[in-house]
Chains A and B, each alone.
Chain A
Amino acid sequence: MLGIPFTQLIQALIFPLFAGFAAGGRATLVIFAFLGIFGFITRFLDWQRRWFSFDGEVLRVDSGILSRNHRSLDVARIQQVEIQRGPVQRLFGLATLRVETAGSAAEVEVDLRVLPEADAVALRSAVRVSKARLAAGPDTGLDPDELSAEPERREILRVPLRHVVLASVTGARLLVLPAVIGAALQFVGQQIGAFFDDWVERAIEAGLATAEGGLLTEPDWRLVAIGALVAIVLAMLVAAAVGLVRDGNFRIEQVDDDLYVTRGLVTTRESVVPLRRVQLVEVQRNWLRRLLRYSSVRIRSAGGSTGGDGRVTVPLLHEQRVEALLREVLPGIDGIPPLTSHPPPALRRALFRWLRPAAYLVALAWILPEWVAFLDNPATPWVRWATVALLPINAVLAVIEYHKLAHGLTHLVVAARQGALSLTTTLAPVVKVQAVTSRRTFFQRRLGLTTLHAHVAGPGALVEVLDAGRDDARELQARLTEHAAAPVVPPDPEELPVAG
């Protein structure tokens, strides 16, 4: 039985006490003090009543203050082990250990907070040793000392700091910003030009007007544009900082058959993903990163919790290194398989998908105000024509999306690609496919198309083959079902056709 030290008590004290002192006013102070004492007692009891043991095969955790919860976890079922250390925890030499199993529950299976770091590492290597022993079989003469020694780590990947910054600046959340900048610059360009001097004069006047207590009746669009630009720059800086704190020092190492993923500058997180448990790998490239020839890669194990712990995202990776990483993460699979594109009717579906929301907007701006009684025609002509301009833009995006649609199947891996601006290639080892479903809407039936889903373990984890040809999809489903039902690697790979 591994013990829990006194230092964790101090950590449990810090927040409630701090909260109590920081609050202003006597009433708030009393409330906070009460909450603090209550929180302290709860935390203390929770710590006192939480026990765990590990006998080499089963991890047992007893927890709960009033209702006791007893968990036993088989080593063979463990999907992912994670050690997390926040700044305060590092000060006291503590760590949080999380263990995940397959399942779709939202919470982490085992969450051991405030554990001495040495114990957390010891427990993790104990899990590793037991798994290695299980994998080797009971009667192989493996030396336990040799196994329990800290094993050699082989570095697979390290993401330099400048890539982490680049990743957060070109990330999905900031992706709309360049478009906003472009629009803003265009707008400013139109407005400024010959009127630049006039603008300076008016800006000063506007400043004086506000200083005198007067209000601007009309918003000055140029000031708004400048403000937007400043906001964008600030947002980028904040994103870069957040990205650095979260993903700084990102590296992946291989220890035996496990991937050790370490990341974080302030709070360090070290996740262990067993290679055999990798369910899905997504290679994502948004248009900005495509221009710069970078990708991000998301590795998903079947870890149940949706808090992002079931997946590990490599923030940024040069295109040329993606294949090498895939080979490491999906052993035996030689990168992205050859992909075949989809039949021409899929273009019509892509157009429909992209034009439908644009058409709704047009309808909303042009038709609805005439019919709805209480709306006093709020759409200005400018807004109306902007919605119409969306139609050709979306049509172009649809054509791009159609040309990017593709899928492939080998005897080891199923892959599919989709997306217009942001391109995602999803790969899943066929050994991991749990079920195969296909769906055909009325329009898909008329066009002879089928959408196919290969489901793997993990919340919402699947490979989507969008709008494949009907016969292709039928064959793909039959072959995938066969693989999922009899997941033995075929002896002769050359007998099987390469692409689906």
Chain B
Amino acid sequence: MLTERFDDRERPLDPRVKITWRIFGTLGWLFPLGGASVLGYFLLDGPLRWLPLTVALVVVVLSATWYPGARYRRWRWQLTDLALEMRYGVIVHRHEAVPYFRVQQIDIERGPVDRLLGLATLQVTTASASGSGALPGISEEQAPLVRQELLLRAAEAIGDHMGDVNDAV
């Protein structure tokens, strides 16, 4: 059983998530931008032919150094009394609110890098595919607790509506 309930303060992610982002961010940019710089070098004329390569280098270096940290600093999640709220995004600031009452399913997902680092991602699914959220960078000890907390709150929310609007869709 749970020893303590989660309060509603804003929480950061586990700092180790930066390593995951650094690896996948760099690899993710390397392939498309590598191809683009080769293409650019052969297709363009004059000094412009070095432009794609320069841009690619800058992007890859940034995604390996600055971006994961900035992303980590922006990430906040919070269990308010109504919803799981997530605020994140460096270039585009996002704010997602998933009410407990609407939660249909919660998955714990762990990729190979996540497993090495002892991290997990919580996938929170609602009846709307676009309105479902993912909470990355939760330590593997905490992930089941967060999931249990979310399920408990979802059950409570549905219990409050029994016989009234008990069907979320």
Contact = CB atoms under 8 A, between A and B. Distances in A.
B130 A455 contact: yes
Contact of A434 (B43, B44, B165, B168): B168
A contact patch SS: mixed
B169 A435 contact: no
Nearest to B157: A485
Contacts, number: 118
Contact of A488 (B44, B98, B133, B161): B161
Contact of B92 (A371, A440, A453): A440
Given A372-B44, A484-B99, A457 B83 contact: no
Contact of B127 (A302, A431, A445): A302
Contact of B131 (A76, A438, A455): A455
B82 to A, nearest CB: 4
Nearest to A445: B93
B46 A477 contact: no
Given A461-B128, A482-B82, A488-B165, A437 B97 contact: yes
A477 B97 CA distance: 8
B128 A481 contact: no
Interface residues of A, number: 39
Given A102-B127, A371-B45, A437-B97, A431 B165 contact: yes
A123 interface: no
A434 B94 contact: no
A439 interface: yes
Nearest to B86: A437
B48 interface: yes
A216 interface: no
A487 B101 contact: yes
A442 interface: yes
7 contacts: A371-B48, A437-B131, A441-B92, A455-B128, A460-B130, A481-B85, A487-B161
Interface of A: 76, 79, 102, 104, 277, 302, 371-374, 431-432, 434-442, 445, 453, 455-462, 477, 481-482, 484-488
State the 5 A-B residue pairs at the shortest beta-carbon distance, nearest first. A455-B131, A435-B131, A485-B99, A485-B82, A457-B127
